[in-house]
């Protein structure tokens, strides 16, 4: 469930309105330490879709802002790549179908990495790799984001939510474009800092305690559209065909564990 609607690089009233519409006001809760998570270190190269790890979202949407319904047939795994699609195919109460997968386990501090290729220019769509926990899980809303707003796939937006509050967004370049080839995105979540990397390069960092999530979260990949969030995502244009987001690899490396593949950001930090 991706509720991130902040617009970079300037402030916008959209986040608070959308969060309230989706989940109500998050009750303030004591900051439980993001330690001893349920999830363990893993690398998934998508040789198959591991149903013990992944839940495929199907039959619901995230609110009125979303113009598509999550549909299991918009998620395919072939030749070592997970493909999520957005398609003009009516499903439930929406005119479009879209794809999302989420881990069944929750994860805490550590290194989160994904190798992704987004669609080309497609105004009104969002290709996202993020972690999330929230009221739907009976937890405060914490979230860490990479979001490729495909109105301009030369950039990716970074953000973090802490107890439902955003304001930490930054828009950064993706060398060569997020849609031209696979790129590596990583965030390193520690108790005292949060860092984002694009292709192994540090591009953003937060260190203030008020900016740092503290609750174990699930890992998500999603491709969705909106007909209302024009200022942030661009005015939606019906693509007339299926639009895709491809995920070649995802990994989580827990603190203290050895890095799990060559080129991993976790290798650099050890």
Q: Which residue has the tokens 């299991």?
A: 72
CA distance 259 to 257: 6
Q: Supply φ then ψ for residue 142, to 5 degrees.
A: -115, 145
- How many helices (DSSP H) and strands (DSSP E) are in the chain? 3, 16
CA distance 18 to 218: 21
The structure tokens listed for 54 are: 């992944």
Query: Which one, of 189, 144, 142, lies nearest residue 163 by Cα?
Result: 142
Q: Establish whether 143 is a catalytic residue.
A: yes
Contact 24, 16 (CB under 8 A): no
* Catalytic residue chosen out of the listed positions 87, 147, 169, 246: 147
- Cα–Cα distances (Å) from 34 to 107, 133, 194, in that order, read 8, 12, 13
* Catalytic residue chosen out of the listed positions 143, 169, 205, 262: 143
Write out the catalytic residue numbers.
143, 147
């Amino acid at each position: 469930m991706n509720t991130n609607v902040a617009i970079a690089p300037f402030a916008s009233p959209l986040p608070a309105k959308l969060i309230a519409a989706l989940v109500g006001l998050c009750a303030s809760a004591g900051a439980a330490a993001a330690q001893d998570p349920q999830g363990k270190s893993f690398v998934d190269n998508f040789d198959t879709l591991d149903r013990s790890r992944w839940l495929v979202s199907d039959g619901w949407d995230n609110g009125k802002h979303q113009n598509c319904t999550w549909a299991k047939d918009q998620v395919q795994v072939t030749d070592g790549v997970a493909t999520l699609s957005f398609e003009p195919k009516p499903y439930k109460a929406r005119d479009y179908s879209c794809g999302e997968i989420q881990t069944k386990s929750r994860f805490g501090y550590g290194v989160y990495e994904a190798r992704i290729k987004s669609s080309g220019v497609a105004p009104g769509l969002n290709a996202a790799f993020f972690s999330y926990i929230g009221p739907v899980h009976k937890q405060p809303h914490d979230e860490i984001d990479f979001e490729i707003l495909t109105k301009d796939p030369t950039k990716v937006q970074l953000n973090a939510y802490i107890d439902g509050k955003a304001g930490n967004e930054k828009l950064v370049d993706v060398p060569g474009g997020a849609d031209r080839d696979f790129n590596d995105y990583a965030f390193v979540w520690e108790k005292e800092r949060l860092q984002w990397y694009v292709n192994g390069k540090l591009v953003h960092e937060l260190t203030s305690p008020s900016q740092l999530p503290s609750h174990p979260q699930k890992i998500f990949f999603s491709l969705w559209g909106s007909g209302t969030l024009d200022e942030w995502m661009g005015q939606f244009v019906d693509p007339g065909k299926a639009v895709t987001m491809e995920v070649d690899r995802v990994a989580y490396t827990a603190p203290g564990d050895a890095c799990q593949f060559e080129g991993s950001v976790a290798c650099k930090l050890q």
